[in-house]
Amino acid sequence: MAEKYDLQEVEVWDGNYAAAHALRQAQVDVVAAYPITPSTPIVENYGLFVANGYVDGEFVMVESEHAAMSGCVGAAAAGGRVATATSSQGFALMAEVLYQASGMRLPIVLTVVNRALASPLNVRGDHSDMYLGRDSGWIQLDAFNAQEAYDMTLCAFKIGEDASVRLPVMVHQDGFITSHTAQNTNPLQDEEAYAFVGEYQTYQEMLDFSKPVTYGAQTEEDWHFEHKAKQHKALMDSRAIIDDVFEAFEKKTGREYKRVESYMMEDAEVAIVALGATVETCRLAAQQLRAEEGIKVGVVAPRCFRPFPFDKVREALSDVKTVCCMDRSSPGGAMGALFNEVSAALYSTKNRPLVTNYIYGLGGRDFSVEEAKRIMREQKAHADAGYITTAIQQFSGLRGPKLGFFETNRR
């Protein structure tokens, strides 16, 4: 029996340590993992928990991230709670198996510490890996700080393992900014945390020999489409369960989470949409700008990147004049993903606000409160002019001549 870990009411944890504790408290049966910066401390800390008797489950240190997710799929199909951690290149290497995990409807939890993708090689935080996972059929939750990395990881098990969901869940946090910044964190005690997550409910497990089961069958043109549609529906329908789990979590902890987090949006004229730790930067900027310059600005942040909260994004942004979508990933010849998805949601609203796109913070480039304020002022200028006064896609914090693409034709 695993030993109880004595925790203070307030612990000073970074995002990695918070995630590692959440995995420990969920009493995961199998962690199959491979270390990679900046998520390595999750795996190291978990290993230390194992070494000191705080874990009853198996800890398998495999030879690659592809094998980590492969081991997770084999373990999950054998009927138990499974989790791992990764970042960046490791995430890319496991990409093949991510699709297989979701296709088989196996509720694995993957804590992703977001990091840029090479080339050029870079160990710092951006959202390239998170975006790479966006069509993989996983639920993707986004944590903006260490506390949320802990909270979302506990919620992830409860969401993914729900009998009506049975889907794998990623919990994202920003590399270094969140993963390596120690912050005050309020954990649950071990027994409270486990009671919240609950016992793992097996479904079609390979170790139930009274019911032999085949996993990973082939489907060709006669069957593939129906299976993928069923999987997509489960992912879309998981929205209700995510809401329920967030509500239950609030009852337990007082910490409120929503699929789309809105900040100072009640009377906002200008909105910034962002993900990750940037959300907190933008919130501070909005606060200051309202106080200093009276600009009615608010911040909208998808807590749940997948299933994409199309409905909630529409609700949150239906009354503003301009929206700026912040994409922390090189868009590779397109508009940023957040821009595309938010714009698509807003296209069918009556108000149809002006939407612009900033590419920022690639490879860990700092994004400051001042820069956020500058962007907000710029959005205010669009609102006042009634059209987008700059290029629609711009770059923030980039050296060299100003770079931008596409002008509005609504002038």
Partner 1 sequence: MKGVCATEKRGTKEIGSEELVGWDAVTQGVVINSFEGNATNVASLKQEERNYSDFSSYTATVASWRVVKPVYNRDICIDCQNCWVWCPDTSIISRDKQMLGIDYDHCKGCSVCVEVCPTNPKSLLMFAEHEEIEKALESWPTKEK
Partner 2 sequence: MAITPIKNLKEFSTANDRFEGAHLLCPGCAHSMIVRELMNCSDDNLVIATNTGCLEVSTAVYPYTAWDTSWIHIGFENAATAAAGAEAMYKARKRKGTLKDPDAPVKFVAFGGDGSTYDIGFQWLSGAVERGHDFTYICLDNEVYANTGGQRSSSTPIGSSTTTSPAGRVSYGEKKMKKDMVSIMAANGAPYVAQLAPNKWKIMAKGFQKALATEGPCFINTVSSCTTEWKFDPKDTVHITDLATDSLVFPLYEIIDGYELNILYRPKNILPVKDYLGAQGRFKHLFKPENKHVLDEWQKRVDASWERLQRREEARI
Report CA Rg, the chain: 21
The secondary element (H helix, E strand) that includes residue 149 is helix 146-160
Beta partners for residue 249, in sequence order: none
Binding piece for partner 2, criterion CB under 8 A, among 136-144, 154-162, 210-218, 245-253:
210-218
Q: Give the one residue of 22, 26, 67, 279 binding partner 2; rule: CB under 8 A.
A: 67
| Binding flag, residue 397, partner 2 (CB under 8 A) | no
Q: Annotate each residue in 157-196 with x if it binds partner 1 (CB under 8 A) or - if it does not, as one string.
A: ---------x------------------------------
Cis, peptide link before residue 302, omega less than 30° from 0: no
Angle in degrees, CA 249, 273, 312, rounded to 5:
50
| Binding flag, residue 96, partner 1 (CB under 8 A) | no
Binding piece for partner 1, criterion CB under 8 A, among 117-125, 214-222, 288-296, 302-310:
214-222
Cβ 166 vs Cβ 138: under 8 Å: no
Take residue 197 and report the two structure tokens written for it.
Answer: 């997550």
Binding piece for partner 1, criterion CB under 8 A, among 10-18, 57-65, 102-110, 335-343:
102-110
Q: Read out DSSP for 312-340? A: HHHHHHTT-SEEEEEE-S--SSSS-HHHH
Q: Give the one residue of 8, 119, 217, 291 binding partner 1; rule: CB under 8 A.
A: 217
- Residue 72 touches which member of partner 1, partner 2, none, C-beta under 5-8 Å by kind: partner 2
| Binding flag, residue 221, partner 1 (CB under 8 A) | no
Task: Please state the φ and ψ torsions of residue 287, each to the nearest 5 degrees.
Answer: -55, -50
| Binding flag, residue 85, partner 2 (CB under 8 A) | no
Q: How far is the CB of 242 from partner 1 (least distance, A)?
A: 19
- At residue 31, the 3 state secondary structure works out as strand
**Checking phi first, is residue 347 left (phi over 0); if not, alpha (psi -120 to 50) or beta?**
alpha
Angle in degrees, CA 204, 55, 187, rounded to 5:
100
Take residue 174 and report the two structure tokens written for it.
Answer: 């920003």
| Binding flag, residue 66, partner 2 (CB under 8 A) | yes
Angle in degrees, CA 284, 281, 307, rounded to 5:
115
- Residue 233 touches which member of partner 1, partner 2, none, C-beta under 5-8 Å by kind: partner 1
Q: Give the one residue of 8, 9, 163, 220 binding partner 2; rule: CB under 8 A.
A: 220
The residues binding partner 1 (CB under 8 A) are 103-106, 166, 204, 209-217, 219, 222-223, 225-227, 229-231, 233-234
Binding site for partner 2 (CB under 8 A): 29-30, 32, 56-58, 60-64, 66-67, 70-80, 82, 96-97, 100, 200, 202, 205-210, 212-220, 223, 227
